[in-house]
Every structure is written in structure tokens, then in C-alpha cells.
Amino acid sequence: MDSFVSKIICIIVEATNNMFYSSKLLIIFWVEVDHTNTHILNRGRTMTLFYKTPYEAWFAIKTNVVHIRVFGCVAFTHIPKDVCHKFFAKSKSVSS
């Protein structure tokens, strides 16, 4: 179970980093970006729950996603681990 939890945490951290750096927000808003990312992940279907969303499985209510808007949509290239630090950007923008 620990490997599953660590994989989920890694997915959340990487997605939060991507959303945070693409939006160019101040560092004080990282918690809001993390909450937004977790909210989106909880509204996504998963094979583990037989293609239900975690929200559907918990509350037994069909998920409504009409309130979700584009957070940021910029292409990034990966920076290798030996070059970057844990709290620095792990990718850089490809846009000009």
C-alpha cells in the first residue's frame, strides 16, 4: 500500500508543480493550486472504482464538472533530476 500512496503523492506533487509554474502565481498561492489539483483528481474516473469517480463512490452522487475551467495550458520540457533541486522547477517552458 505504501508504494500506491507514494505514487499518488508523486502524481499530485508533479501536477501541482506544473499548474503552479504555468500560472505564474506568487508562491503564497501554492496551497490553492494544490487544492485545485486534488479537486480535479477527485472528479476523474478511475479503474479501481469500476470507472466511477472518487467523489461518486464516496457521496453516491454523479459528479458535476461544469464549474471547472482551464487553469493553464503551456508546453514544458523536463529538466533532469541531477540538474534541479527538489523545490525548483522540474521543467521549463517551451513557448517563446
pLDDT per residue as tens digits for the range 20-40: 887 777 888 888 888 888 888
CA 53/CA 32 separation, integer angstroms? 22
Would you say residue 63 has pLDDT above 60? yes
Q: How confident is the model over 68-95, as pLDDT tens digits? A: 776 655 667 788 888 877 778 777 776 6
For residue 10, the tally of other CB atoms under 10 A from its CB is 10
Residue pair 12/63 in contact by the 8 Å Cβ criterion: no
